[in-house]
Chains A and B, each alone.
Chain A
């Protein structure tokens, strides 16, 4: 079982418990579009193909901003 914490910078927080998963699965789990966020795991930018590890803190940086 993998437990990770996800923060969307500047707004919501989530906790996800799941079997083995990739960053792309986290997006699907939360109903988010991979085109709209840059995932940063424990301080490093990662891609949708990277796997998440137990205890990871994933911060999603919104691509869309401003007006």
Chain B
């Protein structure tokens, strides 16, 4: 039996990066210290905040909701709320919604569920079908990502949110980093930092990633320890079609052979972000002339896609 490097109890986690073993108590302590350090380092939250947590119902976002809800007991000025966007993918999201509601009730957290269907008149499955019929060049993840980000900002604002917390972890961040390098999208790299930066648009809700420095392996362990891991581990049926799928596999294989490579890549991102922010300064956002939501162009991407799909 492997023992904890700090107290001799039974180990439940082994870090291949530093060769240390952690028992449950010391793992949770380590996890808490890392997240609090990220929150402090990037000034994610002030004394008084209404933090809306974007929840998919999966292990990472439920862990973030659980973690922030517990942390808020030590921060009397914080209100935590949960927001779930139901894209409408048959056989996928419905398994996760029940777990989301149950967790919110157990944590006594106010929540809201918004669907693509009620907001746009079509579920993601219907949108993907429509896009194919029209011969549009987009992958399902493009529609999903654009519409989801649009709704997260709009709905969190309507819930009174002063900040939107997403459960993007270290693995998510470095996958996006590598994908954007390979596509030569440096303006996008400039936007994947732990906080969304100073954007003054009155309808924009600031976004933060408290799990920026946490490996997906660690969020999974946290979720199992708190019974937050989904009962049915159903994968998004569109996931294997995405570029991210290959990048994720590549990075995991690389990490197995070279423990610590993921942290190195994250540090490279942090290093390059300060340089890129000089070049790609976040200008004040415009207002979409169709829907009135914040946008970098005259018309936001959600409205552009809706126009192409003929559902505006």
Contacts and interface: CB of A to CB of B under 8 A. Distances in A.
Contacts of A63: 216-217, 220
A61 B141 contact: no
Contacts, number: 75
Contacts of B229: 9, 61
A44 B12 contact: yes
Nearest to B240: A67
Interface in B1-15: 1-2, 10-14
B255 interface: yes
A35 B12 contact: no
Interface residues of A, number: 24
B252 A35 contact: yes
A54 interface: no
A58 B301 CA distance: 46
A61 B12 contact: no
Interface stretch (B69-77, B187-195, B230-238, B273-281): B230-238
A50 B253 contact: no
Interface residues of B, number: 37
Contact of B13 (A45, A64, A67): A45
A9 B224 CA distance: 12
Given A36-B252, A65-B59, A45 B235 contact: no
A55 interface: no
Contact of B239 (A40, A48, A67): A67
B21 A66 contact: no
A42 interface: no
B13 A35 contact: no
Contacts of B224: 38, 40, 45, 61
A15 to B, nearest CB: 21
Contact of A67 (B2, B21, B242, B255): B242
B202 interface: no
B236 A67 contact: yes
Contacts of B235: 65-67
Interface in A11-54: 11, 33-36, 38, 40, 44-51
A28 to B, nearest CB: 11
A9 B239 contact: no
B58 interface: yes
A36 B248 CA distance: 10
Most chain B beta-carbon neighbours within 10 Å: one of A11, A36, A49:
A36
Interface string B34-63: 000000000000000000000010111000
Contact of A45 (B16, B221, B239): B221
B144 A46 contact: no
Contacts of A61: 220, 224, 229, 233
Interface of A: 9-11, 33-36, 38, 40, 44-51, 61-67
14 contacts: A9-B229, A10-B233, A34-B16, A40-B224, A44-B12, A45-B12, A46-B2, A50-B1, A61-B220, A63-B220, A64-B216, A65-B58, A66-B56, A66-B236
Given A49-B2, A61-B229, A66-B58, 5 more contacts: A10-B232, A45-B13, A64-B252, A65-B59, A66-B56
